[in-house]
Amino acid sequence: MESYPIIESHGLIGDLQTAALIADDGTLDWFCAPRFDSPSLFAGLLDHKRGGYFRIAPDGAEDVRREQLYLPGTPILITRFLTSGGVGEVIDFMPVAGDTPTDRHRLVRLINVVRGTIRFRVDCQPRFNYGRDRHEIEMSADGTVFRSPTLSMTVHRVRPADQPPDEIEIERDGDGVRAFATFREGATGGFLVETGSGEPPRLIGPEEIRAMYEQTRDYWRTWLSGSCYRGRWREAVERSALTLKLLTYAPTGALIAAPTAGLPEQIGGTRNWDYRYAWIRDGSASVYALLGLGFTEEARRYLLWLNDRICEGAGRMTPLHHMYRVDGSTDLDEELLDHLEGYRRSRPVRIGNAAAEQLQLDIYGEALSAIHFADSYGLRSSYQAWLNTVKSIDWLCEHWDRPDEGIWETRGGRQDFTFGRLMSWVAVDRAIRLAQRYGVPGEIDRWSTERGRIYHQIMNRGYHPVRRAFVQHYDSDVLDAALLMMPSVGFIAPDDPMWQSTLRAMDAELVSDSLVYRYNPTSSPDGLPGAEGTFNMCTFWYVEALARSGRLNDALITFEKMLTYSTHLGLFAEEIGPAGDQLGNFPQAFSHLGLIKAAMTLDHLMDAAPGPCRAPFETLVERDSPRS
């Protein structure tokens, strides 16, 4: 188990079609190609023996201190090794692949010594198709080609600057290669990993690599300069924006939930899912963050992708699936990779996602809310897209009052989830507003009737009079953090007594030192064994709910505490464990979406608050102390 770097030790790089994770010990242990949802070339994160890895680190040095950072304003990752012999760096980045799908992806691993002299060891051990495919190796003095039945990968050598090439030794090591290279101060060399070309390796000059580096750096800094955020948490917000961009599949505009599969929600547990797909829920939430930051083009591209899904679903039994592959297809059959031991022996390892077949009614609310919000920014739906949206709303008016699996994709059977009803109300409400705004076709009278029916049902059946709180599903007394969204979507006033008592109930039961659990799995059986950590998105929802409910100082300290749980690179997984460790797939789009939206909400409310809005620190701590 000690062979697995902790989840939070990783940095993310990508080219807008796929991505890779690199630990702070110089190990590239996750990389899929040619797309996010393609089989892996390196999956040591899920099995350090069978998964494959590509490590670059000082050879034999026992006194190494490691540091990791991003080049400011970019996802160019710098891993620094501080040794008694000198200071060296491994600089990792992926040149942007563009908007056209391609099998050719490039990953640059530069070695740079800035002080002294360091001997590096390089181990490249790819394992194609999650370690299931055999491959052939072709070696030369300029690099190595690895060929599997489905994909080829070439590792080109980058000629060290100001250093003779004969100081690099390369040899075969089983199904991979091993190399040793000594670099003196000022020397730069390394490797270029290239997939899909099938070309023989070549010796690449430092000028060519420098051009790739500068183009990549300039692309990301130019993109980030389009942000209009000037609030109090600029560094965290901009890193989150870069992360969301990295998780976007450029050819279609789809946003994946996370670049990884199988990372556990509990070490040794079975809640290990594949998140390399596009959820309607996550993507729709991204519209708020992207438009709020000024990234109109990214929001527009996602909305085009969403409109395509709505048009495809017109006339189907269920208009929308809640998750898709990045190209819009729905072949997501779940498969167990029994030959992999899983991250720190957390099995089973799953690819695909059986939850794709679930009924989740809330996605219609997220989709219509995003379309309505984007409309206020001038991103109006096309005529045909609106007609198909009308069909979706008509379908929802007939089917909202039925059990579903809910936002958390539980596997314990369908229930009358309050959140599904809440977001059905949102979907119908936003459709009515759009139809009235433009006078476009829609059965507004019928929609208004159904909107009223949903509202009264939630108020009469979703609120538990004994708990004095809105609950997870009807005829239960279980609290659910998803309902923190009730005020933000406009369903209930934040100062309404029914909402205030709900928030107090959540304070007492779901909140742990500012961190928020989705629900209590003990009192709400979800069909899955084991436990999980607190859910990062829920914590950010909690921040918003506190701020909107008049508890601005509580919201501020909760948000500041949450930022201390980020990794050294400012990244968040899906959940936080008992010791503050990152759990679940990493990094998680939902978490970073929540951070951006919470930061913008706090900025707005703090700017609008009369007089000083920050209480003394002692008061903040007292207000946030554990509640009985």
pLDDT in tens, 204-216: 998 999 999 999 9
pLDDT in tens, 298-335: 999 999 999 999 999 877 778 999 999 999 999 999 99
Q: Which residue has the higher pLDDT, 397 or 526?
A: 397
Q: What per-residue confidence (pLDDT) applies to 281? A: 95
Query: Distance of CA 555 to CAs 279, 493, 549, 551, 560, Å?
Result: 28, 17, 10, 6, 9
* CB neighbour burial string for 137-164, b if at least 16 within 10 angstroms, e if fewer: eeeeebbbbbbbeebbbbbbbbbbbebe
- In the three-class reduction of DSSP (H, G, I as helix; E, B as strand; rest coil), residue 337 is classed as coil
pLDDT of 466 > 50? The answer is: yes
pLDDT of 164 > 70? The answer is: no
pLDDT of 162 > 70? The answer is: no
Domain 7-224 CATH class label: mainly beta
- For residue 261, which of 206, 342, 184, 182 has the smallest C-alpha distance? 342
List all residues 6 or more positions away from 564 whose beta carbon is below 8 Å from its beta carbon. Answer: none
pLDDT of 447 > 90? The answer is: yes
Q: What percent of the chain has pLDDT over 90?
A: 87
In contact, 557 and 514? CB cutoff 8 Å: yes
Using pLDDT thresholds of 50, 70 and 90, give the confidence band for residue 412: confident
Q: What percent of the chain has pLDDT over 70?
A: 94
pLDDT of 295 > 60? The answer is: yes
In contact, 432 and 444? CB cutoff 8 Å: yes
Torsion angle defined by CA atoms of residues 235, 241, 244 and 249, in that order, rounded to the nearest 10 degrees: -140
In contact, 232 and 599? CB cutoff 8 Å: yes
Q: What per-residue confidence (pLDDT) applies to 608? A: 85
In contact, 132 and 145? CB cutoff 8 Å: no
List all residues 6 or more positions away from 556 whose beta carbon is below 8 Å from its beta carbon. Answer: 547, 602, 606, 613, 614, 620
List all residues 6 or more positions away from 607 whose beta carbon is below 8 Å from its beta carbon. Answer: none
Q: Indicate the CATH number for domain 234-623.
A: 1.50.10.10
Q: What per-residue confidence (pLDDT) applies to 163? A: 58
pLDDT of 617 > 60? The answer is: no
pLDDT of 616 > 50? The answer is: no
Residue 607: CB atoms within 10 Å: 10
Q: Which residue has the higher pLDDT, 318 or 222?
A: 222
The most distant pair of C-alpha atoms in the chain lies apart, rounded to whole Å, by 80
Tokens 């659990």, residue located: 517
pLDDT of 463 > 60? The answer is: yes
Q: pTM of this prediction?
A: 0.94
Strand partners, 323: 279
- Convert 42-95 into a string of H (helix), E (strand) and C (coil): ECCCCCCCCCCEEEEEECCCCCCEEEEEECCCCCCEEEEEEECCEEEEEEEECC
Q: Could you give the CA distance from residue 94 to residue 217 in angstroms, rounded to a whole number?
A: 10
CATH 2.70.98.50 domain span(s) along the chain: 7-224
Torsion angle defined by CA atoms of residues 323, 327, 333 and 338, in that order, rounded to the nearest 10 degrees: -110
In this structure, of 313-322, 351-360, 443-452, 548-557, the range with the lowest mean pLDDT score is 313-322
Q: What per-residue confidence (pLDDT) applies to 627? A: 29
- In the three-class reduction of DSSP (H, G, I as helix; E, B as strand; rest coil), residue 234 is classed as helix
Q: What per-residue confidence (pLDDT) applies to 624? A: 37
In this structure, of 156-165, 349-358, 439-448, 539-548, the range with the lowest mean pLDDT score is 156-165
Instruction: Give the mean pLDDT of 93-119.
Output: 96
Per-chain mean pLDDT for the chain: 93
CATH 1.50.10.10 domain span(s) along the chain: 234-623
pLDDT of 165 > 60? The answer is: no
List all residues 6 or more positions away from 456 whose beta carbon is below 8 Å from its beta carbon. Answer: none
* Paired tokens of 109: 């691993």
pLDDT in tens, 550-600: 999 999 999 999 999 999 999 999 999 999 999 999 999 999 999 999 999
Instruction: Give the mean pLDDT of 406-411.
Output: 86
Q: Which residue has the higher pLDDT, 80 or 528?
A: 80
pLDDT of 348 > 90? The answer is: yes
In this structure, of 91-95, 475-479, 620-624, the range with the lowest mean pLDDT score is 620-624
